[in-house]
Structure 1
Amino acid sequence: MPRGERPLGPEDTALLRFAGDLRRLRDQAGKPSYRELARRANYSPTALSDAAGGRKLPSLALTLAFVKACEADPAPWTKRWRELAAEHTLPLQPNAPYPGAAAFTEHDAKSFFGRECLVEQVVESVKAKQLTLVCGASGSGRTSLLQAGLLPALDDAVVVTPGAKPLEALAEALAGIFENTTADQLAEEFRQDPDHLRLRIRQHRPDLVLLVDDVEQALEADDFIAAITRCPRVVLAVRADHRRRCHDKGLRGTEITVEPMSADELRRAITEPAARIGATVETAVIARLVADAANQHALPLVQLALVETWRRKRGMTLSLAGFEESGGLEHVAAQAAQSFFDTLGENDRRAARQVFLRLISVQRNGIVHRGSRRLDTDGQLLDLLAKARLVTLIEDGVELTHDAVLRWPELATWIDEERDNLSTHQQLVTAMELWEASDRDPQALYRGARLRKAKELGAFLTAQERSFVAMSTKRETRRSTALIAVMAVLIALVPGTVVYALSNERKISALNDRELGGKAISESEALMEQRRPYADKYALVGYKVYPSAEAEKVLRLANAMTRGIPFTGTPGDDADVVVAPRGEIAAVTDQDGTDRMWSIDEDRAEPGKRFADRHRVVKLSDRRAVTRDNAGQEHLWAVDDAKDITYLAPLPNRFRTLDLSPDGARIVGKVGAAVDAGLPTPDESEHAELFDLSDPRHPRELPMPVHNPETVSLSQDGRELATAVWDRASGVTTIEFWRIGGTVERSALSLVQHGYVRGITYSADGRWLAVERSPESVVDVWQRVPGEAPLLRARLETTLRSGARVTFASDDRVAVVRDNVFEVQRLYTSGRPSDRLVYVVGHGNSTRAVYRPQHDDFLVRSGSQAPELLPYVLDSARIIKRMCEKDGARLTDSEWVKSFGEVERVDVC
């Protein structure tokens, strides 16, 4: 009999009450055994028992696995866990590498990364021009740039922050610069003649550069502006929404915009400060933050999330577990919003609620998006919201800082309460845009039911929107008066006509939507066949007008083909393309048969260095490459990036690489006969060898647990090896798992497969294992359970006998490429059959799909001979958002009329 649970005793602490409630949750689920819970949760029975033991707080992941295994709602448990975890969180230590909500200061210069190019750009401008204007949205890091970037980079500089009394602040900052004077004396001197500042600098500090932060605070102080603009060299940092005010004041010079950090810049800002003090950030944390925040105005939220993760670090590692326990950007944004909201009075709360709701839109499919708008709201409230990092003030208006703000529970409640009004408001905004685009044609004003609904929005409208509604009302009144007599006659003559029209209005509307959507989809498919542009625009019209599974499929495909990443220049047709596991670099064969490295950004590729003459890449990891020369000899290379490759060492003679771990730590291959796909041919001289690449110039051979396996595979970190041995007589393949290091030992129970196993693929977290059996090319996907035999969760069969190339995403999705077919399936640990998310013919062409966590998409080889990669995004909402943000969604008027005639334009954003 299984041992009973240890009694908890009196539940007089929060931790014991938490454990007691977990036990009661298990009782409500029918009190399954911990072994049964382990099977459902993918955790060991001991770990689950300890979670309800009350001795220590279990991790969030373990808690949620326990809750889900008991078929309960994880949301309230997540909230409760975080409240309890807050009591156990470590205080922020003085050596924390991230400043959190505060700006970087001069003392933080050694931890200031990611803005090196921007600093260099401003320094070059300072050398060439008298005045440099640095513009950036709120929260873009202007203060940090001045304090931690420019101040250390310039030989002689001082930072001035004007505040409420600009001239006094300037004098205070310079009092320590000029000898034998005080701040009061300097202020009076500048007040009498602003040119004295220029004279003092030329006499005493000719190389001095004034770095003026938040100059928008002093634009009305003419004496201050006069003083600083006469200086030999000055840098003015201004918030983007005040750029025009600066121009009006005559502040014109070299303008440099502080753009959101790119993926590479953000990655440096995350990893380098930690590395400087000997800490590391797990790759999964970097991937999550880069995917969530790259190219967005979200730096303050990233810094806050890093601080919270630092509080929960394991040793000197910022782990994914700690990041998820902190709640990431979503929790940080929600906490900031709630803290800010709690400080407001009742009137300010109502005003803040209106601001939040005006900055979102509800699309026709019910999806909520954030957007930018010009608001006639009190500027002081907007400044406070920007300071709290909840909104971003940009040149064209205001926007919510990040999508994470949308998931603040209070805002989510408001959205549900106002969903109808938000939808009506979005329609009004669209109508105003069309009205403006038609040179304010009176025919484009509102009328009828839409006008009546718009009037009900009341205080929800801006002044400009109220003016539009008022003009529409005035015109509607005149129109109604003129039509009353005519309508009376029509009603008298044909009383049934109106009733019939009203009863069939919805049916006719649906029919028109279906016809318009079908035509748009057909246009998109025709453009894709011809490899012509704008296929994604037509697909978006079709999906918006008449959403369906087919329309969504075409939208995804059109988006992928429109964003195709070509390797322009030297590659020949049908060139080999080998992409690294994270999709950031690739090796492509040039026309002369030599491989060249390429760096891959979100939508483009840039050429890098070539390998040695006639070297072709066999395997590519994120840091290592294995090439084969014309003589068949294989070689090892270091690949820091596409433009930095270094030859390391030749691999043993007759060595053929079978697998290189994604992190480049281990390599396994065979020495002897050539290795070909298909059924094996016995060769007694053939044997497998395994090497550790910690010192890549001198690979160290490790013990190989199986002399000559047919198939091998290394885990993500290279610490586990899977070997497959085929018994020809019985037709059975045995797969064994080995933990490798100084010694070799079994790490899991064996797996027996009928037939010959041609391929084994690990998921990044080791939870899933894909096994391809030959010759049918069936792919079995197994869930790995600690201490137990793997569980078969999906069988992916096909009529194609072509070899399968398998890739796992980070969220229980698996992608399979067979010849020119690309499919993605969703896996489940509950025993539920997998769901097919994507099945597309025309992709593939013998290249493995590569999942890019930083972009949450799959890179797939196009079906043509050209060495082109297609970035395939599964989330249609994200496709639409990206198209709309980049202004790539709207057909021109001529394109619309050419395809759809006089049909009223559909707003796709």
Structure 2
Amino acid sequence: MPRGERPLGPEDTALLRFAGDLRRLRDQAGKPSYRELARRANYSPTALSDAAGGRKLPSLALTLAFVKACEADPAPWTKRWRELAAEHTLPLHPNAPYPGSASFTEHDAKRFFGRECLVEQVVESVRAKPLTVVFGASGSGRTSLLQAGLQPALVDAVVITPAKNPIEDLAEALTGIFENTTKDQLAEEFRQDPDHLRLRLRQHRPGLVLLVDDFERALDADDFITALTRCPHVVLAVRADQRQRCHDKGLCGTEITIEPMSADQLRRAITEPAAKIGATVETAVIARLVADAANQHALPLVQQALVETWRRKRGMTLSLAGFEESGGIEHVVAHAAETFFRTLGEEDRRAARQVFLRLVSVQRNGIARRRTRRFDIDDQLLDLLTKARLVTLTEDGVELTHDAVLHWPKLAEWIDEERENLRTHQQLVTAMELWEASDRDPLALYRGARLRKAKELGEFLTVQERRFVDISTRRETRRSTALIAVMAVLVALVPGTVVYALANERKITAMHDRELASLAISESEALMEQRRPYADKYALVGYKVNPSAEAEKVLRLANAVTRGIPFTGTPKEDADVVVAPRGEMAAVTDEDGTDRMWSLDEDRAVPGKKFAAGHRVVKLAERRAVTRDNAGQEHLWAVNDADDITHLATLPDRFRTLDLSADGSRIVGKVGDAVGVGLPTPDESEHAELFDLSDPRHPRQLPMPVRDPETVALSQDGRELATAVWDAAAGITTVEFWHIGGTFERAAPALPQHVYVRGITYSGDGRWLAVEHSPESVVEVWQRVPSGPLVMRARLDSALRYGARVTFSDDDRVAVVRDNIFEVQRLYTSDRRPDRLVYVVGHGNSTRAVYRPQHGDFLVRSGGQDPELLPYDLDSSRIIKKMCEKDGARLTDSEWVKSFGEVERVEVC
């Protein structure tokens, strides 16, 4: 007979109340035994009993397993656990490697990583020019750059932060620099003659560099600006949205922009400070943070998430369990938003709600997205939002700091309440942009039902939007007045005919629209087949007249074909085309059989240098390439850009590359005589080798966890390796995952597959894994679940049994190319089946599609032998906007008449 639970006693602490509620939850579930709960939760009975014991706080994972086993909703328990955990976390040790919400200071220079190139760039500018202006969005790390980057890097420098009285702040910062003087004396001196600062520096500290932070606060202080701009060495750090004001003030110097940290820079900013004090960060934590924050101005959120993870560290390791318990960036944002909202009065809360909603757009599929906008907002409220790290000020306007803000429960609730208004508002903003792009053509104004819906938006509208609606209203009134006059005459003449015409107007218009759309789409398809221009213009007419799913499909394809990237010059037909991971470069085989590098722009290619004679590119990564020469020997190259390629090293004899991580840090391959793709071929001499490319001229061999796997794959950051080993007798392939470095350890539970596995592909953020079966070419997509087994989310099959080439975008889409079929599916982290977004025959041609985050499209090879690449954009609204902005959307009068005769022209922009 099982032993009864230990009584809790009085529930006079939060921990005991938590344990008591867990016990009551079990009672509500029918009081199953702990052995039965263990079977459901996949935890031991002892662990589950301890979770409800009240002696210590169980882990979040254990708590949620207990709750789910009792068939309760885990969401409120997650929130409650985190509130309780906040009381039980360790205090922040003074030696913590991360500053959290504070900026890095001069004392933090030894743990300031990721900005080395930027620091060097500014230092070089200081040596060359008297004035350097550094622009950066809020949250980009301007203060940290000055204090922890530039001040230690310069021989003699001082940081000045102006506030309400810039001259006095300047004098206070320099009081310790100039002997025998006071702050008041210096301030009065600078007010009387700003040139005194330059004279004092020349006499006492000629090499002193003035580093001015938050310079935008002093843009109205002319005496302060005059004093600074006459000095020999000045660096101004300015918020990006104030660039035009700086130009208006005549500040002419070297301009440097602080770009968001790349994945590699962010990885260093995460790992190196911990390494400095002997701590480590688990690869899964790095992958999550890099996926969440790379190429975004979200450094303060990353630092705060790391601090919260540090509080929950295991020994000297920042673990994924600790990161999950802290809630990561999403919890940091939610906490900041709740704290900010509680400080506001009722009126300010309403104003803040409007600001948040104006920075959100709802797509056609119902998904909420961030958007950047310029609109009038109270400066004090904007400052509070910026300090709370909820919005970011960029040169283009205001935007929500991170996607995590969209998941803040209050904002998610507001979005649901206003979803229809948000969708209407997004359409209005797009219409305004098109109106402006068409030189305010009256035909681009709103009318009819769209105008009526826009008027109902009320306080959603900014001043400029309200003006657009007012102009549209006045034009609609004039048109209605004219129409009424005409109708009055017609009614008097032929009453019956007019009534009949009005009753059937919509039906006739619909028939006309369908016929016109069908004709336009047919014309577009014919032009695409003939590879003639203007296919996208006709497709746009068809889509505007009758925006059906088929019309949208043709618009996307016509846009891709029209924007096709040809490789002019001498590339041979049916050439190999290998595209870099982010689509900035490609290697294409020339007629002489040697690969040439090409630089890829949005829709054009520029030729660069060739590799050594006879070398063909096997793999292309960021700044790295592997080539194979005519003798079968493989080589490693540095590829900084298309015109800058350098031979680094010759890889071992008989080595055949199987994978090169996207960041170029690791390479894995096989050594032997029977290396190939497909079903295994026995070869006892064959074995796998793994190399670290930190020093690319001297690749360092790493231990390989499996001697001879059939299939291998590296994660994009090179920190994880997947291996697939085939057991022919059992008919099972075992896919295993390894953290790799000086040693190796398991990164996730093994994945058994009752088929032969031909290919494995990681997503960029490590959240998804694609496994290709052979010979059927079925692709299964699995979701990576922290500290748990993988969960299959999609099975992508095709009538074409040909090798699949899989690519992931950064927004849960997966592209698969099978010979000449290109398809894209949207994935879901639930039981919902994936949505097929694209399925195109005649494009792909055995080349992997590449997602370009900078352009939001996929590069896929066109059909046939031509090596041309097609930029395939799935966002039809973005396609239309770009066409209209470039004046590439409107058919000429002669083209219209030739195709559609006397049919009234349809305005597409």
Q: Determine if the TM-score, normalized by the shorter chain, exceeds 0.5.
A: yes
How does the TM-score come out when normalised to structure 1? 0.76
For 1:48 and 1:560, the matched residues in 2 are separated by 60
* 102-111 or 640-649: bigger deviation: 640-649
For 1:29 and 1:499, the matched residues in 2 are separated by 73
* 399-408 or 790-799: bigger deviation: 790-799
- Kindly tell me: are residues 473 and 32 of structure 1, through their superposed partners in 2, closer, same or farther at Cα, counting changes over 3 Å? farther
Question: Structure 1, residues 858-881: CA drift from partner, whole Å, max 9, x if none?
Answer: 7655545455666767xx4xx468
For 1:468 and 1:625, the matched residues in 2 are separated by 52
1:339 match? 339
Q: Quick one: which amino acid aligns to residue 161 of structure 1?
A: T
* 1:146 and 2:146 correspond: yes
Task: List aligned pairs for 1:163-202, cutoff 5 A.
Answer: 163-202=163-202
- Kindly tell me: are residues 852 and 71 of structure 1, through their superposed partners in 2, closer, same or farther at Cα, counting changes over 3 Å? farther
Question: Structure 1, residues 53-96: CA drift from partner, whole Å, max 9, x if none?
Answer: 54676766677788789887665455445444444544444344
For 2:822 and 2:233, the matched residues in 1 are separated by 58
Task: List aligned pairs for 1:664-743, cutoff 5 A.
Answer: 669=670, 671=672, 674=674, 686-691=684-689, 693=691, 711=710, 713=712, 721-724=723-726, 726=728, 733=731, 735=733
Q: Which runs of 5+ in 1 are unaligned?
A: 39-43
* 1:772 and 2:773 correspond: yes
Aligned partners of 2:634 and 2:651 also within 8 Å = yes
SS in structure 1 at match of 2:344:
coil
- How far residue 159 of structure 1 moved from its aligned partner, in angstroms, is 1.6
SS in structure 2 at match of 1:190:
helix
- 2:889 aligns with one of 864, 888, 895: 895
SS in structure 2 at match of 1:896:
coil
- How far residue 178 of structure 1 moved from its aligned partner, in angstroms, is 0.6
* 1:225 and 2:225 correspond: yes
- 1:16 aligns with one of 8, 13, 19: 19
SS in structure 1 at match of 2:381:
helix
Question: Structure 1, residues 698-726: CA drift from partner, whole Å, max 9, x if none?
Answer: 868979889xx9x5557867777543355
- Kindly tell me: are residues 271 and 641 of structure 1, through their superposed partners in 2, closer, same or farther at Cα, counting changes over 3 Å? farther
Aligned partners of 2:91 and 2:311 also within 8 Å = yes
2:900 match? none
For 2:603 and 2:611, the matched residues in 1 are separated by 24
- How far residue 339 of structure 1 moved from its aligned partner, in angstroms, is 1.6
Task: List aligned pairs for 1:412-423, cutoff 5 A.
Answer: 412-423=412-423
1:41 match? none
1:300 match? 300
For 2:713 and 2:581, the matched residues in 1 are separated by 13
For 2:167 and 2:39, the matched residues in 1 are separated by 73
2:239 match? 239
* 184-193 or 104-113: bigger deviation: 104-113
* 316-325 or 204-213: bigger deviation: 316-325
SS in structure 2 at match of 1:650:
coil
How does the TM-score come out when normalised to structure 2? 0.76
- Kindly tell me: are residues 598 and 346 of structure 1, through their superposed partners in 2, closer, same or farther at Cα, counting changes over 3 Å? same
- Kindly tell me: are residues 657 and 290 of structure 1, through their superposed partners in 2, closer, same or farther at Cα, counting changes over 3 Å? closer
1:650 match? 652
Question: Structure 1, residues 395-451: CA drift from partner, whole Å, max 9, x if none?
Answer: 454333344333332223333333444455445545655665676677776666666
For 1:905 and 1:51, the matched residues in 2 are separated by 70
Task: List aligned pairs for 1:380-419, cutoff 5 A.
Answer: 380-395=380-395, 397-419=397-419
SS in structure 2 at match of 1:237:
strand
Aligned partners of 2:669 and 2:689 also within 8 Å = yes
Task: List aligned pairs for 1:456-471, cutoff 5 A.
Answer: 456-467=456-467
* 493-502 or 13-22: bigger deviation: 493-502
* 1:212 and 2:204 correspond: no
- Kindly tell me: are residues 554 and 280 of structure 1, through their superposed partners in 2, closer, same or farther at Cα, counting changes over 3 Å? farther
Q: Quick one: which amino acid aligns to residue 758 of structure 2?
A: G
2:119 match? 119
Aligned partners of 2:541 and 2:906 also within 8 Å = no
- How far residue 512 of structure 1 moved from its aligned partner, in angstroms, is 6.8
For 1:209 and 1:328, the matched residues in 2 are separated by 39
Q: Which runs of 5+ in 2 are unaligned?
A: 897-902
* 1:354 and 2:354 correspond: yes
Task: List aligned pairs for 1:446-845, cutoff 5 A.
Answer: 454-467=454-467, 529=529, 549-550=549-550, 553-554=553-554, 572-576=572-576, 593=593, 614=614, 630-632=630-632, 646-647=648-649, 650-651=652-653, 669=670, 671=672, 674=674, 686-691=684-689, 693=691, 711=710, 713=712, 721-724=723-726, 726=728, 733=731, 735=733, 757=756, 759=758, 761=760, 770=771, 772-774=773-775, 798-805=798-805, 816-823=816-823, 838-845=838-845
Number of aligned residues = 877
For 1:188 and 1:440, the matched residues in 2 are separated by 53
For 1:536 and 1:305, the matched residues in 2 are separated by 46
Question: Structure 1, residues 604-629: CA drift from partner, whole Å, max 9, x if none?
Answer: 99999987765556678899987655
Aligned partners of 2:556 and 2:872 also within 8 Å = yes
For 1:589 and 1:705, the matched residues in 2 are separated by 34
For the aligned residues, what is the CA RMSD? 5.7
Q: Quick one: which amino acid aligns to residue 221 of structure 1?
A: A
- Kindly tell me: are residues 703 and 536 of structure 1, through their superposed partners in 2, closer, same or farther at Cα, counting changes over 3 Å? same
- Kindly tell me: are residues 121 and 743 of structure 1, through their superposed partners in 2, closer, same or farther at Cα, counting changes over 3 Å? closer
For 2:600 and 2:575, the matched residues in 1 are separated by 17
Task: List aligned pairs for 1:66-77, cutoff 5 A.
Answer: 75-76=75-76
- Kindly tell me: are residues 437 and 95 of structure 1, through their superposed partners in 2, closer, same or farther at Cα, counting changes over 3 Å? same
Question: Structure 1, residues 86-111: CA drift from partner, whole Å, max 9, x if none?
Answer: 44544444344433332232223333
- How far residue 264 of structure 1 moved from its aligned partner, in angstroms, is 5.0
- How far residue 179 of structure 1 moved from its aligned partner, in angstroms, is 1.1
* 47-56 or 812-821: bigger deviation: 47-56
- How far residue 204 of structure 1 moved from its aligned partner, in angstroms, is 0.9
- Kindly tell me: are residues 645 and 488 of structure 1, through their superposed partners in 2, closer, same or farther at Cα, counting changes over 3 Å? same
- How far residue 806 of structure 1 moved from its aligned partner, in angstroms, is 5.9
SS in structure 2 at match of 1:724:
strand
For 1:789 and 1:388, the matched residues in 2 are separated by 37
Task: List aligned pairs for 1:271-286, cutoff 5 A.
Answer: 271-281=271-281, 285-286=285-286
2:899 match? none
* 1:136 and 2:136 correspond: yes
- How far residue 257 of structure 1 moved from its aligned partner, in angstroms, is 3.6
* 763-772 or 393-402: bigger deviation: 763-772
- Kindly tell me: are residues 27 and 135 of structure 1, through their superposed partners in 2, closer, same or farther at Cα, counting changes over 3 Å? same
* 579-588 or 520-529: bigger deviation: 579-588
Question: Structure 1, residues 581-622: CA drift from partner, whole Å, max 9, x if none?
Answer: 898998765665566789999999999998776555667889
* 301-310 or 188-197: bigger deviation: 301-310
- Kindly tell me: are residues 744 and 106 of structure 1, through their superposed partners in 2, closer, same or farther at Cα, counting changes over 3 Å? closer
- How far residue 16 of structure 1 moved from its aligned partner, in angstroms, is 2.4
SS in structure 1 at match of 2:127:
helix
- Kindly tell me: are residues 564 and 27 of structure 1, through their superposed partners in 2, closer, same or farther at Cα, counting changes over 3 Å? farther
Question: Structure 1, residues 467-502: CA drift from partner, whole Å, max 9, x if none?
Answer: 555566667777777776665565666677787677
- Kindly tell me: are residues 398 and 512 of structure 1, through their superposed partners in 2, closer, same or farther at Cα, counting changes over 3 Å? farther
For 2:211 and 2:907, the matched residues in 1 are separated by 50
- Kindly tell me: are residues 247 and 825 of structure 1, through their superposed partners in 2, closer, same or farther at Cα, counting changes over 3 Å? closer
- How far residue 197 of structure 1 moved from its aligned partner, in angstroms, is 1.4
For 1:537 and 1:451, the matched residues in 2 are separated by 26
- How far residue 194 of structure 1 moved from its aligned partner, in angstroms, is 2.2
Aligned partners of 2:857 and 2:871 also within 8 Å = yes
For 1:429 and 1:702, the matched residues in 2 are separated by 55
Aligned partners of 1:135 and 1:243 also within 8 Å = yes
For 1:712 and 1:882, the matched residues in 2 are separated by 39
For 2:668 and 2:471, the matched residues in 1 are separated by 73
- Kindly tell me: are residues 325 and 791 of structure 1, through their superposed partners in 2, closer, same or farther at Cα, counting changes over 3 Å? closer
- Kindly tell me: are residues 515 and 310 of structure 1, through their superposed partners in 2, closer, same or farther at Cα, counting changes over 3 Å? farther
